[in-house]
């Protein structure tokens, strides 16, 4: 079985897979994104108790995992003309995926799902931890194809979401795809909160102006259901990507996400969502590697 051994990368898109259909679009999406970025791809399979049980029932050994990974490597290297490496490690998906991401110095992870139920079916009942505890940004994709890239990016700004931490990532992606950022402010009735949102928005737009990134600024029409308004706004603007800062549930850390995160990541419009956890290590990963 392959391991990470001496493989030490950077400029890398990590794509976990369990060889199911739900992960196929993630591989297509991640490989095509890697091609635009000039990155390598690493296909990762975590051999856990479920894998071993399945192999035993089918009278197979761990070499079959390596074979399946190599078959995927051959198919997608030919299709996208990118360098693809494969890694198989034993362990829990909740720790192994993150350990591999750190050891390979991955810049991004692409995780495939057909919605919350689909993600849980693939990775287990606590699958959201994979996103919430990731040391690198995670793009959650459903059935929507990569297309021509991220031309329209929705960038929510509200009082309880630290939007400024997303700016450097947004700049890099926008320059790569000549994107337009759709900055969408929450509506605040409290003067102090309104002032905070306005200040954050102004700081963001000043940076966008300095970097000559196209954008427009719009505001929610009501105070309630901001998350649903974000999604409606994303659909209206033909968004290719929504960028969010995750909000971990402080009562049960690592085991669930806020309603905001769930609604965004598993949106019915199937718009890919770039999830950035509020951790300094994430910013360091992105700032240490240029996308252009």
> Which residues, 6 or more positions from 72, have their beta carbon under 8 angstroms from its beta carbon?
17, 19, 27, 43, 84, 86
Q: What is the pTM of this model?
A: 0.86
pLDDT tens track for 60-75 = 788 889 999 999 999 9
Torsion angle in degrees (nearest 10) through CA of 29, 181, 119, 252: 140
Phi-psi region of 277 (alpha: psi -120 to 50; beta: other; left: phi over 0): beta
Quick one: angle between helices 21-37 and 167-177, nearest 10?
80
Measured in degrees and rounded to the nearest 5, phi and psi for residue 4 equal -75, -25
User: Domains (ranges, CATH) in the chain?
Assistant: 12-141 (3.40.50.620), 152-239 (3.40.50.620)
234 Cα distance to chain centroid: 17
pLDDT tens track for 140-191 = 998 888 888 999 999 999 886 667 778 988 998 999 999 999 999 999 999 9
The span from the CA of 6 to the CA of 105, in Å, is 12
Most confident of 17-31, 67-81, 115-129: 67-81
Between residues 42 and 50, the one the model is more confident about: 42
Q: Quick one: which H or E segment has residue 49?
A: helix 49-57
Mean pLDDT over each residue of the chain, to the nearest integer: 84
Mean pLDDT computed over 7-13: 77
Q: What is the DSSP letter of 162?
A: -
Q: Could you give the angle at the alpha carbon of 33 between the alpha carbons of 108 and 133, nearest 5°? A: 20
Most confident of 22-31, 164-173, 199-208: 199-208
Identify whether the C-beta of residue 248 lies closer than 8 Å to the C-beta of residue 132: yes
On the question of pLDDT at 281 being above 50, the answer is: no
């Amino acid at each position: 079985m392959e391991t990470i051994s001496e493989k030490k990368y950077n400029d890398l898109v990590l794509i976990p897979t369990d060889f199911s259909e739900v992960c196929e679009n993630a591989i297509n999406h991640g490989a095509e994104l890697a091609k635009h970025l000039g990155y390598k791809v690493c296909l990762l399979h975590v051999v856990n108790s479920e894998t071993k049980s399945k192999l035993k029932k089918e009278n197979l050994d761990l070499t079959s995992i390596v074979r399946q990974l190599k078959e995927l490597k051959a198919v997608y290297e030919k299709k996208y003309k990118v360098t693809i490496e494969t890694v198989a490690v034993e362990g829990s998906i909740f720790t192994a995926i993150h350990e591999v991401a750190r050891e390979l110095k991955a810049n991004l992870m692409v995780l495939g799902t057909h919605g919350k139920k689909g993600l849980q079916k693939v990775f287990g009942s606590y699958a959201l931890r994979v996103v919430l505890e990731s040391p690198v940004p995670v793009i959650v994709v459903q059935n929507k194809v990569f297309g021509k890239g991220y031309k329209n990016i929705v960038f929510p700004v509200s009082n309880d979401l630290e939007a400024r931490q997303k700016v450097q990532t947004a700049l890099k992606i926008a320059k790569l795809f000549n994107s337009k950022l759709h900055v969408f402010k929450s509506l605040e009735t409290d003067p102090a909160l309104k002032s905070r949102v306005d200040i954050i928005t102004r700081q963001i737009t000043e940076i966008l102006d300095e970097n000559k990134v196209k954008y427009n600024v719009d505001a929610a029409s009501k105070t309630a259901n901001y998350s649903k308004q974000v999604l409606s706004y994303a659909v209206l603007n033909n968004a290719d990507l929504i960028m969010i800062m995750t909000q971990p549930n402080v009562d049960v850390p690592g085991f669930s996400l806020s309603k905001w995160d769930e609604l965004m990541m598993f949106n019915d419009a199937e718009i890919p969502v770039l999830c950035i956890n509020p951790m300094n290590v994430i910013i360091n990963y992105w700032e240490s590697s240029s996308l252009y």
